[in-house]
Amino acid sequence: MINLELPKKLRASANQAHQVAAEIFRPVSRKYDLAEHEYPVELDTMAAMVEGLADSGTQDISGATGGRKAGSGAAAGDDHATELLGNSNGGNMSALLNALETCWGDVGLMLSIPYQGLGNAAIAAVATDEQLERFGKVWAAMAITEPSFGSDSAAVSTTAVLDGDEWVLNGTKIFVTAGSRATHIVVWASVDRSKGRAAIKSFVVPQDAPGLTVSRLEHKLGIKASDTAELRLEDCRIPADNILGSPEVNVEKGFAGVMQTFDNTRPLVAAMAIGVGRAALEELRTVLEQAGVEISYDTPANNQHAAAAEFLRLEADWEAAYLLSLRAAWMADNKKPNSLQASMAKAKAGRMGTDVTLKAVELAGPLGYSEHTLLEKWSRDSKILDIFEGTQQIQQLIVARRVLELTSAELK
């Protein structure tokens, strides 16, 4: 028998996250959508709550950091559905479910929760034990994208040069989520441009480091509660031991260390899209029922109202994305390579999120297009979830390489 019921310990954490989404995020969602770049003061309460949960050993409710290290749980047996939620660690799974619930409330606010930035996932994935002691409680943003490239993370042109006991960083990073609010930035930079992607390393840069400046904040289509910054590093100096992982350049290994971060964060971004999608489906169901449209699971879709048939299609698509994401997180928790599954989850959920939210606006008619509901906002928020952490096209390329067993040089 396949049992996909959540374990009790995961349900408790997810329920806490849902309460936060319903009682803190939803009531102010429209407020901060209309007040871009204004700091959500309500999140100060969240910061204290998250810190208290972390200190008590309870999983945080934001879902941004995942487990201590990627795949730190015990190895599991065969990969099949009966084991899907039966892992011994559960950090990635819990983070995924919490991200889903909080984004059911508001994606932008979830991305703004203090001390739970995407850079924290990078620290958790590749930091040494000593670095975890120093950076375990910082608020870390992630800075990868540059003006000259988007999803091709191997094209990093920001440089890091070792000068005595300090690294000197130079470059520009754009579209940095929480870039102006976070206390630290995880910056991707090359330690030797002549050695290509193998020389790309990640560095923890304090917000007050000399040479680091926030040059501007972006105006965006959605997730307006979240600040998105452009950062400039001009002879920015940080301690030599702020490089995550080993400073040695291993040409054969490539930059698998820094890329490991994506195997953990892509399922989380998928979960964000799943959370927004579920919110839109719930609102759409209410709108359709109020309009007298009955949705039946016992009657063939082609014998139902066209809107009901479309709702069933959207809901099935949502379910597929949800299960793919659960599988990717389970694999991370059980030390199974999940690069393929992480990209599958991200690709499916990203496309599902935009499809579901836009169709919800369409089926709700003028009500969906107005600000009387949050449907139009969710349709704007969902688009970024199909873009950041690797676009839809990049995810499909990764999936194709894994399935066909081709290298990046063989399939571009």
Tell me which CATH code domain 8-69+79-122 carries. Answer: 1.10.540
Q: How many CB atoms neighbour CB 293 within 10 A?
A: 17
Mean pLDDT of 247-255: 66
Active-site hit among 146, 283, 315, 389: 389
If you average pLDDT over every residue of the chain, what do you get?
A: 88
Mean pLDDT of 41-48: 81
Which amino acid, one-letter code, is at 26?
R
**pLDDT for the residue numbered 114:** 87
The 10s digit of each residue's pLDDT in 187-211 is 999 999 888 888 999 999 999 999 9
**pLDDT for the residue numbered 126:** 81
Cα angle, residue 345 at apex, residues 5 and 151 outer, rounded to 5°: 155
Give me the residues paired with residue 268 across strands: none
Which parts of 255-391 fold into alpha helices (H)?
256-290, 306-333, 339-364, 366-369, 375-384
Share of the chain above pLDDT 70, in %: 86
> How many angstroms separate the CA atoms of 336 and 330, rounded?
9
CATH topology (fold) of 139-239: Butyryl-CoA Dehydrogenase, subunit A; domain 2 (2.40.110)
In the residue annotation, 51 being an active-site residue is answered as no
Tokens 């995810």: give the residue. Answer: 395
Q: Are β-strands 140-143 and 184-190 bridged in parallel, bridged antiparallel, or unpaired? A: parallel
**Among positive and negative, which fits the CA dihedral 105, 366, 353, 187?**
negative
- Minimum mean pLDDT among 40-49, 260-269, 271-280: which range? 40-49
Contact 113, 50 (CB under 8 A): yes
The 10s digit of each residue's pLDDT in 75-93 is 222 333 223 334 445 788 9
**Among positive and negative, which fits the CA dihedral 251, 252, 254, 256?**
negative
* Residue in 241, 38, 267, 229 with CA at minimum distance from that of residue 128: 241
**pLDDT for the residue numbered 96:** 94
**Among positive and negative, which fits the CA dihedral 385, 389, 394, 399?**
negative
Residue 336 has pLDDT above 80, yes or no: yes
* Residue in 187, 67, 202, 183 with CA at minimum distance from that of residue 135: 183
152 contact partners, CB below 8 Å, separation of at least 6: 394
Tell me which CATH code domain 256-404 carries. Answer: 1.20.140.10
The 10s digit of each residue's pLDDT in 206-234 is 999 999 999 999 999 999 999 999 999 99
Between the CA of residue 153 and those of 193, 200, 256, 354, 394, what are the distances in Å? 14, 9, 12, 24, 11
The 10s digit of each residue's pLDDT in 265-316 is 899 999 999 999 999 999 999 999 999 999 999 999 999 999 999 999 999 9
* Residue in 136, 106, 134 with CA at minimum distance from that of residue 46: 106
Contact 213, 235 (CB under 8 A): no
First to last CA, the chain: 41
pTM for the model:
0.89
> How many angstroms separate the CA atoms of 168 and 42, rounded?
37
Domain boundaries, the chain: 8-69+79-122, 139-239, 256-404
> How many angstroms separate the CA atoms of 286 and 364, rounded?
10
Let me know if the fold of 8-69+79-122 is the same as that of 139-239: no
The 10s digit of each residue's pLDDT in 104-139 is 999 999 999 988 888 888 888 788 899 999 998 899
Contact 112, 46 (CB under 8 A): no
